[in-house]
Amino acid sequence: MDPTCQRVKLNDGNFMPVLGFGTYAPPEVPRNRAMEVVKLAIEAGFRHIDSAHLYNNEEQVGLAIRSKIADGSVKREDIFYTSKLWCTFLRPELVQSALESSLKKLQLDYVDLYLIHFPVALKPGEDLIPKDENGKVIFDTVDLCATWEAMEKCKDAGLAKSIGVSNFNRRQLEMILNKPGLRYKPVCNQVECHPYLNQSKLLDFCKSKDIVLVAYSALGTQRLELWMDLNSPVLLEDPVLCALAKKHKRSPALIALRYQLQRGVVVLAKSYNEQRIRENVQVFEFQLTSEDMKVLDGLNRNFRYIVLDFFAGHPDYPFSDEY
């Protein structure tokens, strides 16, 4: 099956490919690799590319997208590109210029999707994570509803075809949905989601509001010390996942990706390895049974890999047990 055909209709009428390519790599990976792997991903059939200001690779990702357009492989409208508004730009007056600065790096006229990266505002300025003289992160006080109104203006201006959020819990989503004068609902909420943290309650809530849940770290994260405890269990080595992989003659990674698609979740898969990039589009070549799905549901243990300590103490801390 042609993976480019598999798309979900968003609540604003636009379409999102259900398989996305994750582009984050840690700083030690040479920036040019992002360009190479995005080209490989497009060649393999990925049409949805996920990045963010934070990832410091938009220049390279933009180059890759434009080069695949220039060589005739794809048209701009075939590609679904997501960027994200970093926490130091949540003040409404900073939102559009933050998006314009991403577009300038990308050398694109619009992004398909612009997300509020986290529901936590940090002090505006040059530093991505501003800290005081004692090393304590400096928060900012911003009304997220005002940020959302600025996001709506970016959609009106045609700079973002769709707008959404990331790392929001139900309460934070409801705050936006109940905002007086809301003009556009978030089309999606991008959150950590995999068999150990299957987000079933948040998924039900999102479905009830016609908001797509987009799963990140669906393969159990890159296991970077910066973001997580390295003693945590390795998802792709889970015996149940491995047994299902054996049964279907597919890798545990493909089972984890397929699981999300069959429960109506859009799934991101990061790989900087050519063979695994090609492998991941095979997610459309097989199906799990309803029994397999039940078994995978049974792996849930509400275990979150990514916990960013610098948000700790904030009332909108995105990694609490609140769903």
Ligand X SMILES: NC(=O)c1ccc[n+]([C@@H]2O[C@H](COP(=O)([O-])OP(=O)(O)OC[C@H]3O[C@@H](n4cnc5c(N)ncnc54)[C@H](OP(=O)(O)O)[C@@H]3O)[C@@H](O)[C@H]2O)c1
Q: What does the binding site for ligand X look like in residue numbers (CB under 6 A)? A: 22-24, 50, 117, 166-167, 190, 216-222, 236, 251, 253, 268-273, 276, 279-280, 306
State the sign of the Cα–Cα–Cα–Cα dihedral 220, 222, 227, 233. positive
Q: Is 48 annotated as a binding residue?
A: no
Are β-strands 15-17 and 7-9 bridged in parallel, bridged antiparallel, or unpaired? antiparallel
Closest Cα to residue 114, out of 205, 57, 53?
Answer: 53
* Cβ distance to ligand X smaller for residue 73 or 273: 273
Among residues 80, 81, 116, 112, the alpha carbon closest in space to that of 98 is found at 116
Residue 154 vs 256, nearer CB to ligand X: 256
Q: Which is nearer to ligand X, 85 or 150 (CB)?
A: 85
Q: How far is the CB of 312 from ligand X (least distance, A)?
A: 16
Could you say which of 55, 196, 272, 305 is catalytic?
A: 55
* C-beta nearest to ligand X: residue: 22
Name residue 198's amino acid: N
CA 264 – CA 173 distance, rounded (Å)? 19
Residue 159's closest CA among 268, 68, 85?
A: 85
Active site annotation includes 317 = no
DSSP 100-167: HHHHHHHT-S-EEEEEE--S--B--SS-SS-B-TTS-B-B----HHHHHHHHHHHHHTTSEEEEEEES
| Comparison of 7 and 278: residue with beta carbon closer to ligand X | 278
- Give 3-state DSSP helix, strand, coil % of the chain, rounded to 5: 40, 15, 45
Rounded least distance, CB 222 to ligand X, Å? 4
Binding-site entries: 117
Residue numbers belonging to the annotated binding site for substrate = 117
User: Catalytic residue positions?
Assistant: 55
